[in-house]
């Protein structure tokens, strides 16, 4: 069985407060895009194995491997061979690993005829990563809590073109992005801001991580400015970077 996980962008991202569990409460709009694709293959096997092409971490620590282990423990599924070919840029704030994880859960559900509901799959996904649950439905959704509390968002950008670019050789660690950040309540909530025309978003839709990331990574800031110079009506860094998207 093969699927093609796709990424997301964050349209606005407010970091509201630090939680007692060490995470942060956020407010964001997750929006699915099809600018890049991973290739994910899962087939039954005599023993578990995983192979990843285009990434340099331990495959056994990959979220797809964790997804299989979780369902093996909880639902007793058999071993599989997983192959991941990365097409979604790594460490870019596009959620590629989380997308792989969610797609793996859905594939395993089908492969082993588990009959898990969408809500049950979301619960498993949320257990594995903060934004993994978003990719189960893979539709525009408001994210709150640590990104795991989701509600459908009535927004459609199909009339626009979305361009995504990354500065060459630049990666941002999420932990480092949080270090330079001061959580705060915004003057205007993201939901209020997004109700305005897209042409006005540049005045009110904010990604708080830009304040902590741009000083140390001027190439990302320059890429955002280039988006506007090229005619974007709104541009922003996605997540904690390093990808920047422009809406044209």
Report the Cα–Cα distance between both ends of the chain, in Å, rounded. 36
Say whether both 186 and 120 belong to one domain: no
Round to whole Å and give the CA distance between 209 and 237.
8
Based on the fold, state whether residues 48 and 146 are members of the same structural domain: yes
Verify whether residue 131 is a known catalytic residue: yes
The parent domain of residue 239 ranges over 162-247
- 8 is known as an active-site residue: yes
Together in a domain, 137 and 82: yes
Q: How many CB atoms lie within 10 A of CB 199?
A: 10
189 and 222 in a single domain? The answer is yes
Q: What is the mean pLDDT of residues 94-100?
A: 96
Query: Are residues 168 and 147 located together in one domain of the fold?
Result: no
- Total domains in the chain come to 2
Give CA–CA dist 178/186, Å, rounded: 17
- Pick left, alpha or beta for residue 122 (phi over 0 → left; psi -120 to 50 → alpha; otherwise beta): alpha
Are 219 and 239 part of one and the same domain? yes
Q: Is residue 64 part of a domain?
A: yes
**Chosen domain end from 152, 170, 190:** 152
* Helix pair angle (96-111, 118-128), 10° resolution: 140
> Of 124, 152, 180, at which residue does a domain stop?
152
Q: Which among 152, 172, 204 is the end of a domain?
A: 152
pLDDT at residue number 25: 93
Instruction: Indicate which CATH number applies to the domain containing 81.
Output: 3.30.230.10
The answer to whether 168 and 103 are in contact (CB under 8 A) is no
Per the prediction, the chain carries an average pLDDT of 95
In a domain, 157, yes or no: no
Residue 36 counted as domain residue: yes
pTM assigned to the model: 0.94
Question: Which CATH number characterizes residue 196's domain?
Answer: 3.30.70.890
β-bridge pairing 8-18 and 2-3: unpaired
DSSP per-residue letters across 68-88: HHHHHHHH----EEEEEE--S
Are 31 and 85 within one domain? yes
Q: What share of the chain is helix, strand, coil (3-state, %, to 5)?
A: 35, 25, 40
Q: Within this chain, do residues 142 and 175 fall inside the same structural domain, yes or no?
A: no
Same domain for 22 and 131 = yes
Residue 112: inside a domain, yes or no? yes
Domain membership flag for residue 173: yes
Among the listed ranges 65-74, 102-111, 145-154, which one has the minimum average pLDDT value? 145-154
173 in the same domain as 148: no
193-248: pLDDT as tens digits: 999 999 999 999 999 999 999 999 999 999 999 999 999 999 999 999 899 999 99
Residue 104: inside a domain, yes or no? yes
Assess if residue 243 is contained within a domain. yes
Q: Is residue 41 part of a domain?
A: yes
pLDDT, tens digit, for every residue of 155-206? 999 999 999 999 988 888 888 888 888 899 999 999 999 999 999 999 999 9
Domain match, 11 and 132 both: yes
Q: What is the CA radius of gyration of the chain?
A: 18
Annotated catalytic residue: which of 38, 62, 100, 131?
Answer: 131
Q: Are 218 and 138 in a shared domain?
A: no
């Amino acid at each position: 069985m093969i699927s093609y996980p796709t990424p997301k962008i964050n349209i606005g991202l407010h970091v509201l407060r630090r939680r007692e569990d060490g995470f942060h409460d956020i407010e964001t709009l997750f929006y699915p895009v099809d600018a890049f694709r991973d290739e994910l293959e899962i087939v039954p096997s005599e023993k578990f194995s995983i192979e990843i092409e285009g990434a340099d971490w331990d495959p056994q620590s990959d979220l797809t491997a964790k997804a299989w282990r979780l369902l093996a423990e909880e639902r007793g599924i058999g071993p599989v061979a997983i192959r991941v070919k990365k097409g979604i840029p790594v460490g870019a704030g596009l959620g590629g690993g989380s997308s792989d994880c969610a797609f793996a859960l859905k594939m395993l559900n089908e492969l082993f005829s588990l009959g898990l509901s969408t809500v049950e799959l979301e619960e498993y996904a949320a257990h594995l990563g903060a934004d993994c649950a978003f990719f189960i439905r893979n539709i525009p959704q408001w994210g709150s809590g640590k990104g795991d509390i989701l509600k459908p968002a009535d927004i459609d950008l199909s009339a626009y073109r979305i361009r995504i670019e990354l500065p060459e050789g630049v990666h941002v660690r999420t932990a480092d992005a949080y270090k330079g950040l001061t959580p705060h309540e915004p003057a205007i909530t993201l939901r209020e801001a997004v109700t305005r025309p897209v042409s006005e978003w540049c005045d009110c839709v904010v990604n708080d991580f830009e304040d902590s990331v741009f000083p140390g990574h001027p190439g990302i800031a320059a890429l955002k400015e280039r988006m506007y110079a090229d005619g974007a009506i709104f541009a922003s860094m996605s997540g904690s970077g390093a990808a920047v998207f422009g809406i044209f």
